[in-house]
Structure 1
Amino acid sequence: MPDRALSFGARAEAYERFRPGYPPELFDLVREYAGGPVTSALEIGAGTGKATRLFAGQGVTVTATDPDGAMLRELRKHVRASGVSTVRASLEDLRPGRRRYGLVYAVAALHWTVPEGRWARVAALLEPAGVFASAGGQVRPADPAVTEAVRAARAPFLESDEVPSPDGTPPGDAMQWPGTELRRAGSAWFGGVRQVVIDRRLTMSADEYTGYLSTVSAYAALPALEREQVFRGIARVLPERVEIVADLVVHLARRR
């Protein structure tokens, strides 16, 4: 697993405070695709439980996994549902036992998993005809001028703060990753691949937006002094209120 995948724990409280939660539409999409009740789920890369509480709040029994103990400790502060259990593990650490799940899902986390054997591992955790769901997307200023000002302030320290598509799919293509990979490498285990975009527009204060950036792995991996400098530079160019585009690209597939 890339080092950046384990860079979040030191900022678990900031992650919980500044990362946006997830809308009910995400669960609705999964339930509609499943074609019936979703009762049991395994979550890959649960973090502080932003998605855990959405699914658990709909009555799903969730096993929330994450390789970072600090993130799971933060999750347990905020997720009190009796149907939620936590396991410190990456996808690669999980060993299928007798239990299989009706749903395996990952929200803003699947890109941190190891490509080799990814779909065989996920399929082994699912019941026959079980559903896989993944969601993610960029959080960026809606105003192109603000985006450019942030880019210029960041440039001396970081060329980009994005996580590139794991399989190199260009951003403009109709089918995005992991849908592309599901149709190719995952086709032996999964079919019915569907992509849906949930439009989201948010408003953050300048402090909240820089707080969000502090949880992004590219910034977290910078030396402390450079991180302080880049955030000071970005803060200087932000308006008091930042309009945000935070669309979620959702992929759904069914185990064969």
Structure 2
Amino acid sequence: MEQDDPLRLSSSFGAAAAAYAEHRPDYAHAAVRWALEPAPGLRVLDLGAGTGKLTAALVALGADVIAVEPDPAMLTELRRTLPAVRALAGGAEAIPLPDASVDAVLAGNAMHWFDMSVAGPEIARVLTPGGILAGLWNVIDDRVEWTAGLEQVSGSAAIGPRDTLSSWRTATADMHLPKSGVARFGSPEQAEFPHGQRRTADSLVATLATRAGMLVMPEQEQQATLSQIRAFLADRPETSDGEFTLPMLTGVLRARRL
């Protein structure tokens, strides 16, 4: 499924904006704090903000946040849930902000959709000197036996190469940031922070159904995959009865604008 058209995948979320807002996890606050730690100030752009999962964490930590999101349905959901946040239509390749206007640019489960050959210089343009670019990804802790089994049953459409601890570092290490010319970034740093999401079997299935690979899957194949996942969860003692915690981490990749 990762071989599918990236534009088709990245534009698939709008049709499921309400489900995305309901079922996708937030971000570990320790991870957000670490992402912002070297930033020269607290003016933050949440780029590819979606329905505002990361935006809400930034607001809670006292940042002065601007959210930018290209999908109209996702942007509508963000404005509904966070009406006090300035939220603009736009994308990573054409950011609707002036030069040197923010101290940090953060992206929650979004940076892998950016065309970094264009977005890298554009992000550098809106950052102050010494500003921080950070991507955050919520990943499943596949060191836990049952989540490793879940990954096998779900397939790459539901749990892709950036969705587990064992794979996200490799998948995100080289985001093709510009290392020459005017818009340069320093060497990236990576770290992971413990996180978790309270789920039931039904709500975990609903969460996995919001993955891009699942959203573009033919309905019959999608339903068959979700049925396999339901059967697996019903058969595991950890997930078969009531609520449980999905073991996760929030992984962060950060780099400083030189």
For the aligned pair, the TM-score class normalised by the smaller chain equals 0.7 to 0.9
DSSP-derived class of the 1:63 partner = strand
Task: State how far apart, in whole Å, the 1-side matches of 2:141 and 2:123 are.
Answer: 30
Give yes or no for the alignment of 1:229 onto 2:219.
Answer: no
Matches within 5 A, 1:200-215: 200-215=195-210
Partner of 2:179: 187
Structure 1 residue 143 displacement after superposition? 4.3
Partner of 2:149: 148
TM-score by length of 2: 0.82
Moved more, 216-225 or 90-99: 90-99
Partner of 2:87: 86
Aligned residues: 241
Structure 1 residue 161 displacement after superposition? 3.4
Contact 1:7–1:221 under 8 Å retained in 2: yes
Q: Which residues of structure 1 form unaligned runs of 5+?
A: none
Partner of 1:134: 135
Partner of 1:46: 49
Structure 1 residue 77 displacement after superposition? 1.8
Distance 1:142 1:172, change over 3 A: closer
Structure 1 residue 163 displacement after superposition? 4.0
Task: State how far apart, in whole Å, the 1-side matches of 2:170 and 2:123 are.
Answer: 19
Distance 1:207 1:17, change over 3 A: same
Task: State how far apart, in whole Å, the 2-side matches of 1:193 and 1:141 are.
Answer: 24
Distance 1:117 1:39, change over 3 A: same
CA deviation profile, 1:201-256 (whole Å, cap 9, x unmatched): 44421011101111111111112232222212211220325542321111221111
Distance 1:98 1:119, change over 3 A: closer
Structure 1 residue 49 displacement after superposition? 0.4
Contact 2:116–2:175 under 8 Å retained in 1: no
Q: Which residues of structure 2 form unaligned runs of 5+?
A: 1-5, 234-238
Task: State how far apart, in whole Å, the 1-side matches of 2:193 and 2:103 are.
Answer: 23
Partner of 2:110: 109
DSSP-derived class of the 2:46 partner = strand
Work out which of the residue numbers 78, 81, 84 in structure 2 matches 1:75: 78
TM-score by length of 1: 0.82
Aligned-residue identity in percent: 25
Structure 1 residue 144 displacement after superposition? 2.8
Partner of 1:246: 248
Task: State how far apart, in whole Å, the 2-side matches of 1:234 and 1:245 are.
Answer: 17
One-letter amino acid of the counterpart of residue 25, structure 1: A
One-letter amino acid of the counterpart of residue 139, structure 1: I
Partner of 2:64: 61
Task: State how far apart, in whole Å, the 1-side matches of 2:190 and 2:151 are.
Answer: 30
DSSP-derived class of the 1:246 partner = strand
Contact 2:51–2:75 under 8 Å retained in 1: yes
Distance 1:59 1:159, change over 3 A: closer
